[in-house]
A and B are shown apart, each in its own frame.
Chain A
Amino acid sequence: MKPIRRVLIANRGEIAVRILRTLRELDITSIAVFSDPDRSALHVLLADEAYRLGPGPSRDSYLNQERVLEIARRVRADAIHPGYGFFAENQGFARACEEAGIAFIGPKHATIAALGDKLAARAAAVRAGVPVIPGSEGPLETLDEARALAKKIGFPLMLKAAAGGGGKGMRIVRTNAELESAWGVTRGEALAAFGDDRVFIERAIERPRHVEAQILADSTGRVVFLGERECSVQRRNQKLLEETPSPAFDLKMREAFGEAACRIAKAVGYLNAGTVEFMLDEHGHFYFLEVNTRLQVEHPVTEMVTGLDLVAEQVRITEGAPLSFGDTPPAPRGWSMEARIIAEDPAAAFMPSIGRVERVRFPQGPGVRNDAGIYRGFEIPVYYDSLLSKLVVWGENREQARKRLLRALDEFVLEGPRHNIAFQRWLAAHPEFAAGRLSTRFLGDHFRPEMLAPSREATEVALLAAALHAREERLEIAIGGGNGVERSPWRWSDRRRAGGRTRP
């Protein structure tokens, strides 16, 4: 395989920025693509080259396969890095790259296809001797079949779309009546969302932990395990805070876990970086969930404890070179945590937020890494994911990492859109989190929106600040009440703003 000199990044935001940083360090030309609202996005500013895709909506820009490939050919890209999301697990795109003579930085398209089907992936795990959650061997044809199986496995159960993923297309059922009502709904949703209405059943684990194995596989047949990540704290099946190692693991578990993940990878002839996801029950048993055939959002925590650059390893693998460290990956050192900084309002059901970044100051200092896709003045587009930044910390042990995360969250200033920094601080400070007692139901068990209400001290400081601000500014009182206004409002005559930009 010829060396890679020019890489097009078919993505945007923080992950595009993270990828191009490695490319630039490797003296590889980084090529960004952008939609119209992303014309001034950070990945465009930092890339060596940048080319326009089209209007804002993803299907017209980042998901416009013909356009992305046309640009890749025109600008003579040797390879395309898909990041995560968009084309990352799209076997059709991977195949089209191959046909166009452009390397796809990821697994072979046949592997993506095989693992993208949950039932096929589950069958592969069973063949590799990896435990799976008890459930149906294949898609269920009829409700009667589902009922019979439910009786055998026992409630609660998960009803899942075969083509689902990322937490979409699944539903928990606790009784026969719930199974009957969920049957049609889940199939209908699956058909609408994935164009495939096949569903299957699994036993539901009530308070599972989400753990996953980072693997790398090169073209010499080497498959290595780079440690586990725990991503149990989630909302609506979306991860919020990840860490490595998992506080639930011991050495013996880790060994068995790594072996299981590598067995699956070998069984499907996996190539490049991948993540094997498992559920961990209360008794320390893990069950295969799925394989993510891409770089994960949370890959930096693995980089922090191993010292590796996973994007650089991906490029090496794509070039046909062996992994940088040979047979034995570096032993992980210390502990790392990642808090996803998201434009959303945790106090209002995590509703996404958009707007201009009015002010931002990123945390710095020892053991802190911040992978951001924003800067001051940037307008967050409405069309894409609301992940703004990933705050990653490293510490000698879990408690030091946690304290460092809290310290860094305290330093983080972000104004404009609503965001979840105060929520992340609540989470990192929570005694159950500090004790490492996690599950995917952590928020349901512990979080109430009113917990984010400002403290007494913060309230008093706000009160003093408002009074001091009013004193500083020149005030105008609209005296009167002649126009029926019972309480005349103060009007703030702001010298700096006079004649200038007014706020909406």
Chain B
Amino acid sequence: MKLWVTLEGRDTEVEFHTEGETLILELEGRRIAADFHRLPDGEVYSLLVDGRSHEVRVSPGAEALDVTLDGTTVPVEVRHPLEKVLRATMKASRAGAGETVVSPMPGLLVSYRVKVGDSVAPGQAVAVIEAMKMQNELTARHGGLVTDLLVDERASVSAGQPLLKLKAAPG
């Protein structure tokens, strides 16, 4: 999998592979062996970077993850590259009187958060998709009345597959 990491305004892509027992991170063309191990006392990890030992605390901050090491805290933003795809699909579904919410990625439809006849506000969560062991909440962009749920819960879905239809709310 891939993640975008933003530190001090600079975007970097981190890609993860496993090679046997070893986790490999690719970062700016370099391959780094990482051993990331949660310690018993909380949000603290032992991180071995190519064998070099670090102790880091990762805790959610206001805008980003706060990473503390050597007594200094650095805020790091982590984002998913799929957001690019999401934005594109969102644009596609915006056209038309109603709205069709589509799955932005291949995965499993865990559940709907709404049922037929519900009134949905803009930005409201309508479904949960699980992909790459992560649960992702899908929201309606414009909102409206739910007219159709198109897929069975616990079913596999492909990228771009329509999941539910909304009718533009009157007014």
Query: Which residues 86-108 in B have Cβ within 8 Å of A in the complex?
Result: 86-87, 90, 104
CB contact between A479 and one of B7, B16, B139 (< 8 Å): that residue: B139
Among A171-179, A186-194, A242-250, A453-461, the one that faces the other chain is A453-461
User: Are B69's CB and A425's CB within 8 A?
Assistant: no
Asked if B136 is at the interface (CB within 8 A of a chain A CB), the reply is: yes
Asked if A480 is at the interface (CB within 8 A of a chain B CB), the reply is: yes
Residue interface bits A5-16, CB-to-B below 8 A is 1, else 0: 000000000000
CB contact between A482 and one of B63, B71, B140 (< 8 Å): that residue: B140
Asked if B79 is at the interface (CB within 8 A of a chain A CB), the reply is: yes
Known contacts A462-B69, A478-B125; 8 additional CB pairs below 8 A are: A419-B71, A453-B72, A454-B72, A462-B76, A464-B47, A464-B49, A465-B67, A480-B139
Known contacts A458-B74, A461-B56, A469-B45, A475 near B25 by CB under 8 Å:
no
Residue interface bits A434-468, CB-to-B below 8 A is 1, else 0: 00000000000000000011100011111111111
Residues of chain B contacted by A479 (CB below 8 angstroms): 83, 86, 90, 104, 136-139
Q: Chain B: interface residue count, which band?
A: 35 or more
User: Are B136's CB and A467's CB within 8 A?
Assistant: no
CB contact between A466 and one of B65, B70, B104, B136 (< 8 Å): that residue: B65
Asked if A488 is at the interface (CB within 8 A of a chain B CB), the reply is: yes
Asked if A366 is at the interface (CB within 8 A of a chain B CB), the reply is: no
User: Are A462's CB and B7's CB within 8 A?
Assistant: yes
Asked if B117 is at the interface (CB within 8 A of a chain A CB), the reply is: no
Asked if A421 is at the interface (CB within 8 A of a chain B CB), the reply is: yes
Asked if B41 is at the interface (CB within 8 A of a chain A CB), the reply is: yes
Q: Which residues of B contact A (CB under 8 A)?
A: 1, 3, 5, 7-8, 12, 14, 16, 25, 27, 32, 34, 36, 38, 41-42, 44-45, 47, 49, 54-60, 63-65, 67-72, 74, 76, 78-80, 82-83, 86-87, 90, 104, 122-123, 125, 133-143
**How distant is the Cα of A446 from the Cα of B115 in the complex, in angstroms?**
66
User: Are B32's CB and A477's CB within 8 A?
Assistant: no
Known contacts A459-B74, A475-B134, A466 near B142 by CB under 8 Å:
no
Measured CB to CB, the nearest residue on chain B to A488 is: B83
Q: Which residues of A contact B (CB under 8 A)?
A: 358-359, 410, 412-415, 419, 421-422, 425, 452-454, 458-472, 474-483, 485, 487-494, 503
Measured CB to CB, the nearest residue on chain B to A410 is: B70
User: Are B74's CB and A462's CB within 8 A?
Assistant: yes
Measured CB to CB, the nearest residue on chain B to A421 is: B71
Residues of chain B contacted by A477 (CB below 8 angstroms): 80, 82-83, 86, 134, 136-137
Q: List 11 A-B contacts (CB under 8 A).
A: A458-B74, A461-B69, A462-B74, A465-B47, A466-B64, A467-B5, A476-B134, A479-B86, A479-B104, A488-B86, A492-B65
**How distant is the Cα of A439 from the Cα of B136 in the complex, in angstroms?**
58
Measured CB to CB, the nearest residue on chain A to B76 is: A466
CB contact between A422 and one of B8, B56, B71 (< 8 Å): that residue: B71
CB contact between A468 and one of B36, B42, B133, B142 (< 8 Å): that residue: B36
Residues of chain A contacted by B58 (CB below 8 angstroms): 465-466, 469
**How distant is the Cα of A483 from the Cα of B86 in the complex, in angstroms?**
15
**Minimum C-beta distance from A42 to chain B (A):** 19
Residues of chain B contacted by A412 (CB below 8 angstroms): 71
Known contacts A462-B74, A466-B78, A482 near B14 by CB under 8 Å:
no
**How distant is the Cα of A463 from the Cα of B42 in the complex, in angstroms?**
19
Residues of chain A contacted by B5 (CB below 8 angstroms): 463, 466-467
**How distant is the Cα of A287 from the Cα of B36 in the complex, in angstroms?**
57
Interface centre among A358, A359, A479 (most CB of B within 10 A): A479
User: Are A475's CB and B136's CB within 8 A?
Assistant: yes
User: Are A467's CB and B3's CB within 8 A?
Assistant: yes
User: Are A466's CB and B137's CB within 8 A?
Assistant: no
Residues of chain B contacted by A425 (CB below 8 angstroms): 70-71
User: Are B70's CB and A454's CB within 8 A?
Assistant: yes
**How distant is the Cα of A359 from the Cα of B56 in the complex, in angstroms?**
12
**Minimum C-beta distance from A105 to chain B (A):** 36
CB contact between A481 and one of B44, B65, B90 (< 8 Å): that residue: B90
**How distant is the Cα of A401 from the Cα of B36 in the complex, in angstroms?**
34
User: Are B122's CB and A482's CB within 8 A?
Assistant: yes
User: Are B69's CB and A465's CB within 8 A?
Assistant: yes
**Minimum C-beta distance from B43 to chain A (A):** 8
Residues of chain B contacted by A452 (CB below 8 angstroms): 72
**How distant is the Cα of A463 from the Cα of B4 in the complex, in angstroms?**
10
Interface centre among A452, A454, A467, A476 (most CB of B within 10 A): A467
**How distant is the Cα of A425 from the Cα of B32 in the complex, in angstroms?**
28
Measured CB to CB, the nearest residue on chain B to A452 is: B72
CB contact between A461 and one of B49, B135, B138, B142 (< 8 Å): that residue: B49
Residues of chain A contacted by B79 (CB below 8 angstroms): 487, 490
User: Are A482's CB and B69's CB within 8 A?
Assistant: no
**Minimum C-beta distance from B49 to chain A (A):** 6
Residues of chain B contacted by A359 (CB below 8 angstroms): 41-42, 44, 57
**How distant is the Cα of A461 from the Cα of B47 in the complex, in angstroms?**
8
Residues of chain B contacted by A485 (CB below 8 angstroms): 123
Known contacts A463-B7, A482-B141, A422 near B70 by CB under 8 Å:
yes
**How distant is the Cα of A485 from the Cα of B64 in the complex, in angstroms?**
16
Among all A-B residue pairs, the 7 with the closest Cβ atoms: A483-B123, A482-B141, A466-B76, A480-B139, A422-B71, A462-B67, A469-B58
Known contacts A463-B12, A468-B47, A482-B143, A492 near B60 by CB under 8 Å:
yes
Residues of chain B contacted by A358 (CB below 8 angstroms): 42
Residues of chain A contacted by B60 (CB below 8 angstroms): 492, 494, 503
**How distant is the Cα of A281 from the Cα of B14 in the complex, in angstroms?**
56
User: Are A414's CB and B71's CB within 8 A?
Assistant: yes
Interface centre among B25, B38, B55, B74 (most CB of A within 10 A): B74
CB contact between A467 and one of B25, B54, B72, B137 (< 8 Å): that residue: B25
**Minimum C-beta distance from B140 to chain A (A):** 6
**Minimum C-beta distance from B155 to chain A (A):** 19
User: Are B36's CB and A470's CB within 8 A?
Assistant: no
